[in-house]
């Protein structure tokens, strides 16, 4: 028998999971996901050493509950004797109140449900997984870990919109997201470089979803994401920053309703909309089409622009960090973002960047530039252990 921690990250059509052996530091046992839930579900999983534990479709039908049953069956078969002492859940929205992970009971669940209107595409799925895990593991602690929590201590000017004050009071705020990633990466930066880790840093989380976060002495000072995960940088299919006047135009002149606008802004915009080719950075980098080039140019232009804005918020910069799918893997994007930042002390070592080294800045550059692989599951597992 071993005490284990299960982490779950449930999206609209997927559940990512990881199994850790509990201990002073969680030790990864397996990682995987069910994708294509509801349409063409497929369970994939690998052990910590990379060995394939599962990679097979199962018959469509059933939703997140069925997916969780499949995950549990796999764990029981691959790790006989494993006992799940706590389940850590990624929950996108902790609203104004939750600034740290919390053990979920009926009252907390009810509170988290009231935040669904703030994140309609994510929160309901996150909470469905919590309910399914409560039924599947009635004796385990269920722990919610929030993407918003890391930002809760940010200064008021970074937390509000210039709307009448009552809107802030009712929860219309700049929450910021990707907080589990910022938590991991900022701590990793402090471990690798204690001096700069205590200083002024900007972390660039560039994945299918993308945002930046300014950090000083480990504290969040501002982020590019706002009330929802739509704001800030352009993303795979999300628009990023947009003049709200465009939305008024779409409603009044084009007769688009909330659903149509939501589909446009969340699903048809960003890299996909700009290129008309793909939402995937790899595909755009491989394409010769001018539209693909322009989409990448827009992306890197916005990242650079937001770095400038957040560096001004911090009053300077000691470290710049790239993370997530694009940030960790695309030397081209990193080079384009940093190309004209010499004025603020950013200069890359081209070879180190091309090789994806841990430090990619030139030796004499005042700002040290890091590539740090994020690990949101580990942050969730560490939090869940505390409640096990």
Catalytic center residues: 147
Among 236, 347, 380, 381, binds ligand ADP (CB under 6 A): 236
Contact call for residue 277 and ligand ADP (CB under 6 A) = no
Cα 329 to Cα 231: distance, rounded to the nearest angstrom: 23
Residue whose C-beta lies closest to ligand ADP: 325
Burial class, 298, CB count within 10 angstroms (exposed 0-12 / middle 13-18 / buried 19+): middle
- Structure-block tokens of residue 99: 């600034």
Q: Is 230 in the site for ligand ADP (CB under 6 A)?
A: no
By CB under 6 A, name the one of 185, 281, 307, 319 that touches ligand ADP. Answer: 281
Complex with ligand ADP: residue 267 or 308, whichever CB lies closer? 267
Positions 344 through 383 that interact with ligand ADP (CB under 6 A)? none
What's the rounded Cα separation, in Å, for the pair 14 and 36?
6
Q: Residue for token digits 């470089």? A: 193
DSSP-based helix, strand, coil % in the chain, nearest 5: 40, 20, 35
Using CB under 6 A as the binding rule, whether residue 319 contacts ligand ADP is answered as no
Rounded distance between C-alpha atoms, residue 267 and residue 239, angstroms:
9
Q: Is 144 in the site for ligand ADP (CB under 6 A)?
A: no
Closest CA to 108 of 131, 85, 125, 86: 131
Q: Cβ closer to ligand ADP: 328 or 349?
A: 328
CA of 123: how far to CAs of 244, 300, 335, in Å?
A: 24, 29, 35
Q: For ligand ADP, give the closer residue by CB, 223 or 329.
A: 329
**From the list 65, 69, 216, 280, which residue makes contact with ligand ADP (rule: CB under 6 A)?**
280
22-26, Cβ contacts within 8 angstroms, sequence gap of 24 or more: 22/85, 22/86, 22/385, 22/388, 23/385, 25/382, 26/378, 26/381, 26/382, 26/385
Tell me the per-residue interface mask from 158 to 197 with ligand ADP, x by CB under 6 A, - otherwise.
----------------------------------------
Cβ burial of 308 (10 Å; 0-12, 13-18, 19+) is: middle
Among 224, 275, 330, 361, binds ligand ADP (CB under 6 A): 330
Q: Does 209 bind ligand ADP (CB under 6 A)?
A: yes
Select the residue interacting with ligand ADP from 190, 274, 326, 341 (CB under 6 A).
326
The residue within the footprint of ligand ADP, chosen from 208, 256, 261, 313 (CB under 6 A), is 208
Given the rule CB under 6 A, which of 2-10, 21-29, 248-256, 322-330 is the region that contacts ligand ADP?
A: 322-330
Q: Pick from 95, 101, 179, 207 the residue near ligand ADP by CB under 6 A.
A: 207
- What does residue 234 show for φ and ψ, rounded to 5 degrees? -65, 150
Q: Which residues bind ligand ADP (CB under 6 A)?
A: 207-209, 236, 280-282, 285, 324-326, 329-330
């Amino acid at each position: 028998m071993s005490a284990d921690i299960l982490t779950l990250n449930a999206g609209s059509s997927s559940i990512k999971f990881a199994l850790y052996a509990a201990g002073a530091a969680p030790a990864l046992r397996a990682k995987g996901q069910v994708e294509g839930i509801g349409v063409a579900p497929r369970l994939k999983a690998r052990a910590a050493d990379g060995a394939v534990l599962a990679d097979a479709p199962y018959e469509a039908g059933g939703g997140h509950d069925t997916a969780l049953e499949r995950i549990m069956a796999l764990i029981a078969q691959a790790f006989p004797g494993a006992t799940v002492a706590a389940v850590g859940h990624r929950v996108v929205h902790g609203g104004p109140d939750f600034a740290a992970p919390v053990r979920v009971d009926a009252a907390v669940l009810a509170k988290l449900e009231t935040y669904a209107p703030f994140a309609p595409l994510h929160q309901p799925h996150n909470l469905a997984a919590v309910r399914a895990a409560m039924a599947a593991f009635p004796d385990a602690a269920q722990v919610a870990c929030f993407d918003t929590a890391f930002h809760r201590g940010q200064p008021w000017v970074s937390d509000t919109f210039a709307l009448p004050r009552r809107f802030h009071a009712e929860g219309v705020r700049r929450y910021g997201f990707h907080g589990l990633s910022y938590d991991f990466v900022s701590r990793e930066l402090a471990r690798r470089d204690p001096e700069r880790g205590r200083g002024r840093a900007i972390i660039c989380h560039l994945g299918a979803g993308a945002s930046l976060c300014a950090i000083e002495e480990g504290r969040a000072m501002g982020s590019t994401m706002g009330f929802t995960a739509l704001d800030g940088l352009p993303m795979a299919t999300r628009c990023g920053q947009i003049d709200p006047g465009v939305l008024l135009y779409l409603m009044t002149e084009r007769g688009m309703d909330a659903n149509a606008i939501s589909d446009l802004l969340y699903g048809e915009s960003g890299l996909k909309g700009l290129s008309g080719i793909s939402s995937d950075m790899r595909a755009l980098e491989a394409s010769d089409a001018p539209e693909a080039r322009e989409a990448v140019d827009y992306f890197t232009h916005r990242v650079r622009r937001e770095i400038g804005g957040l560096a001004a918020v911090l009053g300077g910069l000691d470290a710049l960090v790239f993370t997530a799918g694009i940030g960790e893997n695309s030397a081209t994007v990193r080079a384009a973002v940093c190309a004209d930042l010499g004025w603020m002390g950013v200069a890359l070592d081209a070879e180190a960047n091309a090789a994806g080294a841990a430090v990619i800045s030139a030796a004499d550059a005042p700002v040290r530039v890091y590539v740090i692989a994020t690990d949101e599951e580990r942050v969730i597992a560490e939090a869940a252990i505390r409640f096990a």
